[in-house]
Structure 1
Amino acid sequence: MLSRTFPRLAPPPEANARFAVVVVALWFWILGWGAAALSGPGGERWWLCLAAGPIAWVALLIGWRLRWRLAAQWLLLAALSVVCLLAWQGAFFGTSTVLVLAVLVVFAGWSMGIAEAALVAGAVVLLGGGLAYQGRTHWEQVLIVGYVMLFLLWLTFRMLHSYSAQMLQLQHSLDELGRHKKQLGVLFQAVEQSQDSVLIVDLQDRLVYANQAFEEHSGLQRSAIVGQTSLAQAGLGPQERMQVQDAVQRGQVWQGVVNSRRQDGVQVTESVRIAPVTDPDGDLSHLLEIRQDISELLEAERRIRHLQHVDAVTQLPNRKALLQRLDMLLQQQPASPQECHALLLLEIDRFQKFIDARGSQWSDALLQAFVARLQSLLPPSARLARTSASQFAVILERVGKTRQGARMHSYAVAEELQQGLGSIVCLQEVPETVQLSCSAGFSVFPFVEPGLQADAGDHVLRRASVALSQARHQGGGQVHAYSEALAATAQRRIELEKGLHVALQEGQLQLFVQPQVDMMGRVVSVEALVRWQHPVNGMVDPAEFIPVAEDTGLVVPMGDWVLEQTCRLLSDPRVQQGGYRVSVNVSAVQFQQAGFVRKLQELIQRTGVDASRLTLEVTESLLLQEVEQAIQKMVSLRALGVHFALDDFGTGYSSLAYLMRLPIQEIKLDQTFIHDLTPQSHGAVLVEALLMVAKGRALRVVAEGVEHKAQAQLLQAWEPGILCQGYLFSRPLPASEWLQAPDLSGPQALRTW
């Protein structure tokens, strides 16, 4: 309870002890020598009084050399001892003795603490009790001295308590001031180091404070502008100043964007916030103004908006800007209900080859030269945009009153552009003339497609892209217009792609075989074919879904499935016993896969088939790229026993050149040579030459597309060991049906035309 009422009395500081020791030592010295002078020389009392001087000197020396609190203890003990001896020899309660004892009690409390003062007071009372017991004084005097000592202790305690409370309060105030000073220092440094201009203005519009950022941004010296007027709220008009006054009067913050001019005349855009500052009573006293230079930020935003709509290489509008322009044209009310526009897409053929051969920097320079030439060829009303790496869009506005007229005009413009863009001078490093060809596709709009309520920019671009895709598939350098038939074809390809994914997952693919017969009409080998049995649409034509599979990459999983089924067919006991050979076509995409050899080797080991009965049919397209790598793979598979056949032999350009290098065992004559084959036909000479080449290399020959008996007889007359494959002998039939025939090599195994 006392600790809550009175604070704990801390020991007096060293400064108090120093002051008390100096004062009391001098006083004790003077008092002792004065008493010695009055008592006369000689005697014990005279010597005891003279001892006050050395005692005082020793106390001062101890305080000066060591510690003043230690000096106070020495002075207290020595002085108390001298006074006690004097009191024991003479009258205890003389005036001088009581005065000295009182001073010593106060001195002990002030220099060392209340506990030391209580010990001194207790020693005095004990001294008085001893004297009264010896009969040297009266007990009443001892009681009076005890009351005096108690009063002095209480008075000393109150003094020390008040002093300690003041010291604690002072220390608390100093700590608070230190914290406030530190906080103010941090705030000041934060404001000074802020990148934004900070101003403080009084109600008379005089500048009270400006930070370093304002000095740097404005070019004005703070020492010269503090105290001046009309420096704040620069760039604000009269109406904005009234808005500021209304906002700060309501205690709100005003915020806005203003344009101002710096000291050097540069125009800047700043974001300004003006907030009221109130005094402790809540009255408005100052205004705080914060300015942030947002000129660079606005420029960056403008640049970003520019890049969102402009191509960085050619500085043409990009795809997004093109779609916005198309939508705007479609939303505008045309001058004539029959007025038509056209969107023309131009794409540089085989542009990726330029990038691969010369690099992106040279290709960018070529694109810039291409755009410059294209802009010179276009009519002034045409709008040009870049939609992809090598694709450009041209909007031809008001090109015809009818769709047919607009189509004819657009076709003429596209052909004129193709002719003018055939030769481009690239100015990168050394000027170089580059021969180009472009594919073009266009669509006339507005045109509301079936199932839609209105035309839109993305629909127009999609239709033109369909036309461009058709022009590319025609070999490049072509112009094609959009038609509903093209849209149906594109939609059909999308449906086939989606359906192929499902077919691979749900097992809709089936393995068919088509027999290959010798001159005796016996089945010697079969070709494995893939067929797609759609659960709703029935059998899908391979000419439809196989090109889609090759374009989308689905030919790889589909080819893996066909190889798996072919090896299972080869592992059938009847096929093994008959020694039949099975050939299967492998696409170039599948064969070029890095793990093709390893996968086929694992498949052969897993199924346990005789690899020498497996023939892989490859086309000349396999040899157009990475020839050495393809030959290395063929050699690796030949080591396993696998045979190779060159499919569509004679239709390409490099077959004869590579024939001597390829590890093949069979060639297949394309059906284009067999279709009109007669002894007098032009193709007969070529077929005979191909058969002679095969005979010279000891290669098996298979003729595809044999549909008439005369064709088979002529081929067998030229080459008795030739194998014939075609509708004359059998259509492709399910592999399971062929395996169910009583004799796999006999007539029962054939499904005739």
Structure 2
Amino acid sequence: MAEAPAVPLPDHEDATTRHLVRVAGWAVMLLGGVIGVLLMFDDPVQPARVALNLVAGLVGGSALWLARQQRWTQAAHLLVWGVWVSVSLVAARNGGVNGPNLLNYPVIIVLAGWLLGARATLTLVGLTALLFLGFIWADIQGMFKPVQVANRVAGAVYLAGILVLTAAATLLSRRNYMSRVQEAQQTATNLAASEAALRKLLRAVEQSPESIVITDLKEDIEYVNDAFVRRTGYERDEVVGKASADYSSNGLAPAQRDGLRATLARGESWAGEQVNRRKDGAEIAEAVVVAPIRQPDGHISHYVELKQDVTERKRAAQEIHRLAHFDSLTSLPNRFTLMERLSALQGRAGRPPTTQHALLLLDLDRFTTFNDARGSEMGDRLLCAVALRLSEILPPQGLLVRVAGDEFAVVLHGLGADASLAGRRALAFAEKLQTALLRPLHLQDNGTEEAQLGASVGITLYPQSANDVAHDALRRAGTALHRAKQAGGGRAAFFEQGMGEAAEQRFRVERELRQAIGAGELRLYLQSQVDVLGQITGAEVLVRWQHPRDGLVAPGVFIPVAEESDLIVSLGGWVLSHACALLAQPLFQERRLRLSVNLSARQFRQAGFVPQLRAMLAASGADPRLLTLEVTEGLVIDDFDDAVAKMGELAALGVDMSLDDFGTGYSSLAYLKRLPIQEIKIDRSFVRDAPTNADDGVLVEGILSVARHFGLRVVAEGVETRDQADFLSQRAPDIVYQGYLFGRPEPDTDWLARAALVGTATVEDEG
């Protein structure tokens, strides 16, 4: 037999219904069983009544069994319809429509209402009405006979059970009613909270700083928030109902739109960037996320567009890129771009180059002088004019870069596999650059300001090997440029292998010299200065480097390197400090011997040079009147007023000043008369040929005459022969000699020991 279909119980009544099924099942089972048993003892001749009551008890027990199996719907149907049938049969047996029989049906109807729902209850009420009509008709026809209650105890139990069941149903109904009231109140509270949450969400969407657009599945706009209106300039009524592609996403490229639709068709979210257009045509860069909106059953009903304005961020990123790759003054690519281009031209590592490129470094000659004389603003204009002039002659595939200051770089592409031919082409272009810059450069729009500067160029080919890299190429070009500048400027120089080796040697010397100053590897040497009688009057302080690996390094190796870097200041400070300590020894104090110390331009121009020297003299206890500082004419001329001021401060300390290499520089008498100096040194180039060359002899006599006129001491350098000494002494009896004829440079300890024994310098063998 097929099982009756289950009728689902309402969720909010589930617990009450199940409780009612249990109570009604127990009541029916107990009432039917007890009454059936009582009737069996009192009226055994009425087996039908007994059986019907026992059946009712069986119905109640079966309903309880189904309830234990969690088959609540079947238990409810069995309980209601089984009891209804049993009660109807008992009513028919007991005489149809009468008081006791009618008491059963209200209870059954209440149970049906709570257990089976409205439809089943109406069905039961209808059947009950038809049954009552049948009972009435049968009673009119006299078909029922009066029936006396045979067992009063059974009747009392029956009535009590009816009352208990009715009361239970009523109480449960009331309980369920109160539960419904509470549920209704809770539902109202939940609805209010949901409404508040929805209002909050709506305010968040409306007040969001980002544009929010909702479209239907046809991509027609249904909603836009205030941010969209402000950002695009469109009013809501202008866009609602219109295609998103015309207003909200009109910046998407066709390929982007196809990708967007394919992603949404898969039910996924799409993210990307677009350059949308406002109502006034202005562009807006936006980061966009388009996501599907799903209903509770899972189907997609709308799409939402979330759009963030990234215009400023994109503009900032472009500015950062420009600053990182381009020069802010000339708008040319910068050094970073140069290195990127050279790296791109390197080719595959480990493979020989198939074509040659060229790197040219260009440096303006005398730009520093122009900038100092005309000011930084005109200097900037000059650099911009140079950039424009060089851009005009740049090949289509070339790259022009401002490296730094007045230094530019040009990369020439694809000059061929033949290195010799590529070199000639690069050199020809370098000459073209120099010629272009020799034409006047206009610095004002009206043409009233012009400048004309030459340029030095360093050239190297790239790549020169399979392992050649950008930094090596830049180093080679820099070395070649340095050589061109040293040659006098206005030249183009190619890098040669020997130049690279020399640069590496200079770098090694600089690195090791920096360590040597603090490591105690420097040595003081002294070369005697004597009068015409051969008596020692003092010495010039020289420095030597006792290298732990290479031995004694000649000054010509490390002094130029020190002068090109900041090491000359440290080196000069070390020499000056040790010279002051040497002057403090008794030999110098007792015999009033002088020490001469060469000053570098960088050392002399330091703002704190004079206070530093004052501190050295005080710390050592040396007599400043025994110290002579030698400076060159070029140092004085470069900043004459500053030089004169410092010389005046030194003279106030008692320190003498000597003009070194006199006669090889400007030798202007106008400058000479204003300088607070006490000594001049005749350069060795004049002394060497003075006895045999009339021109040199005349120059020496002129220098001696100037010295006598200004009352200056004269020291002659490079005196190596007796003829030279005699020539000088005949014209200046008070002259001081310095040269190999009277002593070579020697360690300070050896010089001190010899000077302490004798007062006369040893004349060297001329042979």
Q: TM-score, normalised by structure 1?
A: 0.69
Asked if 1:595 is matched to 2:608, the reply is yes
Of 344, 353, 366 in structure 1, the residue corresponding to residue 382 of structure 2 is 366
Corresponding residue for 1:198? 212
Q: Relative to structure 2, which stretch is displaced further, 523-532 or 291-300?
A: 291-300
- Match for residue 440 of structure 1 among 449, 457, 473: 457
| Structure 1 match to 2:360 | 344
What residue in structure 1 maps to residue 683 of structure 2?
670
Partner of residue 708, structure 2: 695
Report the equivalent of 1:714. 727
Structure-2 separation of matches of 1:531 and 1:490: 22
Letter aligned with residue 455 of structure 2? C
Determine which of 408, 424, 427 is the counterpart of 1:411. Answer: 427
Q: Deviations over 1:110-149 (max 9, x none)?
A: xxxxxxxxxxxxxxxxxxxxxxxxxxxxxxxxxxxxxxxx
The residue number in structure 1 matching 2:262 is 243
Report if aligned partners of 1:199, 1:290 keep a CA contact under 8 Å in 2. yes
| 1:368-447 map, 5 Å | 368-378=384-394, 382-399=398-415, 402-431=418-447, 432-447=449-464
TM-superposed deviation, 1:647: 0.9
Cα distance change on mapping 1:752 and 1:315 into 2, 3 Å = same
Code of the residue aligned with 2:308 in structure 1: it is Q
How far the C-alpha of 1:710 sits from its partner, in A, is 1.0
**Letter aligned with residue 191 of structure 1:** V
Cα deviation per residue 1:418-454 (whole Å; 9 max; x = unaligned)? 2331132314243122121111111123313xxxx52
What's the offset of the Cα at 1:271? 3.1
Find out whether 1:253 has 2:258 as its counterpart.
no
Q: Which residue is 1:509 aligned to? A: 522
* 479 and 560 in structure 1: CA distance in 2 versus 1, 3 angstrom threshold: same
Structural RMSD (CA): 3.7
Q: Which residue of 1 aligns with 2:58?
A: none
Residue 668 (structure 1) shift: 0.7
Q: Is 1:578 aligned to 2:578, yes or no?
A: no
- Residue in 2 aligned with 1:467? 480
Tell me the distance in 2 between the aligned counterparts of 1:719 and 1:471: 43
Compared CA separation, residues 206 and 592, structure 1 to 2 (3 A):
closer
Picking from 490, 494, 498, the partner of 2:503 is 490
Could you say which residue in structure 2 is the equivalent of 1:331?
347
CA distance in 2, matches of 1:420, 1:403: 26
Please state how far the C-alpha of 1:532 moved relative to its aligned partner: 1.0
How many equivalent residue pairs?
Answer: 581
Q: Deviations over 1:81-135 (max 9, x none)?
A: xxxxxxxxxxxxxxxxxxxxxxxxxxxxxxxxxxxxxxxxxxxxxxxxxxxxxxx
Separation in 2, partners of 1:716, 1:561? 35
1:16-65 superposed Cα distances (whole Å, 9 cap, x missing partner): xxxxxxxxxxxxxxxxxxxxxxxxxxxxxxxxxxxxxxxxxxxxxxxxxx
Instruction: Tell me how far 1:369 sits from its aligned partner.
Output: 2.7
Q: Is the 2:347–2:353 contact (alpha carbons within 8 Å) kept by the matching residues of 1?
A: no
Bigger shift: residues 422-431 or 712-721: 422-431
C-alpha change, 1:526 and 1:213, in structure 2 (3 Å) is same
569-578 or 529-538: bigger deviation = 569-578
Alignment map for 1:596-675 (pairs within 5 Å): 596-675=609-688
Q: Tell me: CA distance 1:372–1:222, structure 2 relative to 1, closer, same or farther (3 Å).
A: closer
- Determine helix, strand or coil for the equivalent of 1:675: helix
Distance verdict in 2 for CA 1:641–1:337, change over 3 Å? closer
Q: Which one of the candidate residues 522, 543, 563 is aligned to 1:550?
A: 563
CA distance in 2 between partners of 1:402 and 1:512 (Å)? 53
Which residue of the partner structure matches residue 686 of structure 1? 699
Distance 1:295 1:599 in 2: 58
Q: Classify the secondary structure of the residue corresponding to 2:479.
A: helix
In the other structure, the counterpart of 1:213 is 227
Structure 2: segments with no counterpart, 5+ residues = 1-177
1:150-189 map, 5 Å: 187-189=201-203
> What is the rounded CA distance, in whole Å, between the counterparts of 1:601 and 1:266 in structure 2?
70
Report the CA distance between 1:460 and its aligned residue: 1.9
Whether contact under 8 Å (1:729, 1:752) holds in the other structure is no
* Contact 1:733-1:751 within 8 A present in 2 as well: no
Q: Which residue does the alignment assign to 1:41?
A: none
Amino acid aligned to 2:535: R
Shift of 1:662: 1.7
Listed one character per residue, the Cα deviations across residues 232-285 of structure 1 (whole Å, up to 9, x for unaligned) are 87758774455344553xxx5332345666556667654321234456677766
Instruction: Rate the CA distance shift 1:185–1:693 in 2: closer, same or farther, 3 A.
Output: farther
Query: How has the CA–CA distance of structure 1 residues 598 and 330 changed in structure 2, closer, same or farther, with 3 Å as cutoff?
Result: closer
Decide whether the 8 Å contact of 1:667 with 1:694 is kept in 2.
Answer: yes
Percent of paired sites with the same residue: 42
What are the ranges of 5 or more consecutive residues in structure 1 without an aligned counterpart? 1-162
- Which residue of 1 is the match for residue 743 of structure 2? 730
Check if 1:271 corresponds to 2:287.
Answer: yes
Per-residue deviation, 1:671: 0.8
Q: Where does residue 316 of structure 1 map in the other structure?
A: 332
TM-score (normalised: structure 2) = 0.68
In 2, Cα distance between equivalents of 1:653 and 1:230: 82
Return the letter of the residue paired with 1:739. L
User: What SS does structure 1 have at the residue aligned with 2:360?
Assistant: strand
**Aligned 1:97-116 pairs, distance under 5 A:** none
| 2:540 alignment partner in structure 1 | 527
Return the alpha-carbon distance in structure 1 between the equivalents of residues 568 and 581 of structure 2: 20
The one-character-per-residue Cα deviations of 1:159-185 (angstroms, maximum 9, x if unpaired) are xxxx9xx99x989987x8888777655
Separation (CA, whole Å) in 2 of partners of 1:547 and 1:178: 90
> Quick one: which of 453, 467, 470 aligns to 1:454?
467
Instruction: Name the structure 2 match of 1:222.
Output: 236
Letter in 1 for 2:456: S
Which residue in 2 is equivalent to 1:33? none
Are the equivalent residues in 2 in contact too, given 1:347–1:392 (CA < 8 A)? yes
TM-aligned CA deviation for residue 570 of structure 1: 1.2
Give the aligned partner of residue 120 of structure 1: none
Q: Residue 223 of structure 2: SS of its match in structure 1?
A: strand
SS where residue 570 of structure 2 aligns?
helix
8 A contact 2:658–2:680 mirrored in 1: yes
